[in-house]
Amino acid sequence: MVTNFYVFGRSGIMSRAFTLFAFLLASSPAALAAQDVPAKPDIVITGERLPDLQNALKACIERKCPPDRDITATLKVAEQQFVDGKYEDARSTLLKSIGRNKRFSHDYPEPVADLFRANYRIAAHLGDGEAFRVGTFDMVSALKAGLPDTDPRVLGGEIEVGDMYARFNRIDEAVDKYSSVEHRAIKLGLYNIQGMARLRIVALYSQLAIALPFQYKGDAHKTADELVNSSDPHMKPFGQAARVLMARLDAKNGDTSAVDKLIADYRAAGNGMTPVLLYAPPLKSADDNDRGANSGETLTKLSRTNYDGEWVDIGFWVTPDGHVSDAGVLRSGKPMDEPYWVKPILTGISARRYAPLKMDQSQPGVMRVERYTLTARLTTNTGSRLLVREARPQIEMLDLSTDPPAGPKAS
């Protein structure tokens, strides 16, 4: 089975790249539908050759092709470099293209915004928090340069600003941004933007409630109930997503009854081929799983300056009954030495529960591939401008799974 990864395009993974909320609200589309054979085939990761992509980009630049084509060629090169683990090269490719094309935001707002979006996501995997923050605002500015403030694409970009605030634990600013977008969307009749902005608030509070239940559990359930009980039919899918979030929160607090009910509801409705994540356990440190040779090497205790090669691609199957099977490392930045921090991720993925899939139980299920990177945010010490790594590392994730084939269009 061959999987080609397309990470950065507007319709690809990078445009909906992993944030706290992308992981919480829904699983990404399936990598590939199961074939007519019950046995699980080998997984082969392929892609276009990087030298060919680089030559195509060079030729495009030399003939002064239009900015949107330059950007498309740039993203293809950068995505291949990223998938190959060459994060610095990918960032360099993107920054050069930004230098060439950012002045064309008025005529090409979406392509230029895609360029900024890809750049700030790569920056996150490199631990460059300031570039992540500034790049988010640059992305919105590019959209506003060529689109009216009432355009749903602009409001969608503003939601990403809220996501950025949440990533930096600026909770009040995140909630204010989501609420502002929601109110504007209501006035404009943009129901999807309205629902997504409200759902982001539910997701944020539900995640905070895991660590600080006494402070945020009430807010999480209150905002979720508003969505679940909304009389607006346009809010129904967002209310269902809010139910999933609350079920996960309750499960993490020891009550799995809500998850069990969701599984029964999805089984009765028939979920189709797209895995919907209903439950995922919180990520534990390596010491929580193995207090042997790796004792002391936890994510909270590790302190270093070099994170080169600290990435893995993890593949797994979502089985027809919604369980996970055969989770394992497909590729690694350090192929001869599987990093200790991968073990708790594999444990967590294996314990996930998805909605049952509408397929024969003899089928292997649906394959997914996710990229995990261990990094630490760059910062400065008091009295110095020298950039150093924070002592506490963090894990960034991108879903590398391909989209399922589109169904027939309505006539």
pLDDT tens, 103-125? 999 999 999 999 999 999 999 88
Indicate whether 286 pLDDT > 60.
Answer: no
- Could you tell me which residue, 72 or 320, shows the higher pLDDT? 72
| Residues 6 or more apart in contact with residue 406 via CB below 8 angstroms | none
Query: What is the pLDDT, as a whole number, of residue 205?
Result: 93
Please name the helix (run of DSSP H) or strand (run of DSSP E) that holds residue 17, with its range, or none: none
User: Cα dist. 225→10, 285, 369 in Å?
Assistant: 33, 33, 33
Out of 40-44, 62-66, 78-82, 154-158, least confident range:
40-44
- Residue 410, Cβ density class (10 Å: 0-12 exposed, 13-18 middle, ≥19 buried): exposed
Query: What is the pLDDT, as a whole number, of residue 96?
Result: 96
Indicate whether 45 pLDDT > 60.
Answer: no
- Alpha carbon distance 4, 12 (integer Å): 12
Q: Mind listing the pLDDT tens digit for each residue in 217-272?
A: 999 999 999 999 999 999 988 888 888 888 878 777 667 777 777 777 766 665 56
Do residues 27 and 271 make contact, with C-beta atoms less than 8 angstroms apart? no
Do residues 249 and 217 make contact, with C-beta atoms less than 8 angstroms apart? yes
| Residues 6 or more apart in contact with residue 17 via CB below 8 angstroms | 117, 121, 398, 399
Query: What is the pLDDT, as a whole number, of residue 11?
Result: 31
Indicate whether 284 pLDDT > 70.
Answer: no
Indicate whether 195 pLDDT > 80.
Answer: yes
**Which residue's entry shows tokens 């394992």?**
328
Give the whole-number percent of the chain exceeding pLDDT 70: 75
| CA angle (334 as vertex; 329, 340 as ends), nearest 5 | 65
Query: What is the pLDDT, as a whole number, of residue 189?
Result: 94
When the pLDDT of each residue in the chain is averaged and rounded to a whole number, the result is 78
Query: What is the pLDDT, as a whole number, of residue 294?
Result: 42
Indicate whether 22 pLDDT > 60.
Answer: no
**Could you tell me the two tokens for 380?**
């400065």
Query: What is the pLDDT, as a whole number, of residue 120?
Result: 92
337: which DSSP letter?
Answer: S
The model's confidence at residue 306, banded by pLDDT at 50, 70 and 90, is confident
Helices 236-252 and 191-211, packing angle to 10 deg:
10
Indicate whether 411 pLDDT > 70.
Answer: no
pLDDT mean over 118-140? 92
Q: Would you say the pTM of this structure is higher than 0.85?
A: no
Q: Mind listing the pLDDT tens digit for each residue in 62-93?
A: 999 999 999 999 999 999 999 888 999 999 99
Q: DSSP letters along 93-124, please? A: HHHHHHHHHGGGTTT-HHHHHHHHHHHHHHHH
Query: What is the pLDDT, as a whole number, of residue 39?
Result: 42
Q: Mind listing the pLDDT tens digit for each residue in 333-388?
A: 877 677 788 888 998 899 888 888 877 776 778 888 889 998 888 777 666 667 77
Beta strands in 174-302 (DSSP E): 277-279
The model's confidence at residue 95, banded by pLDDT at 50, 70 and 90, is very high
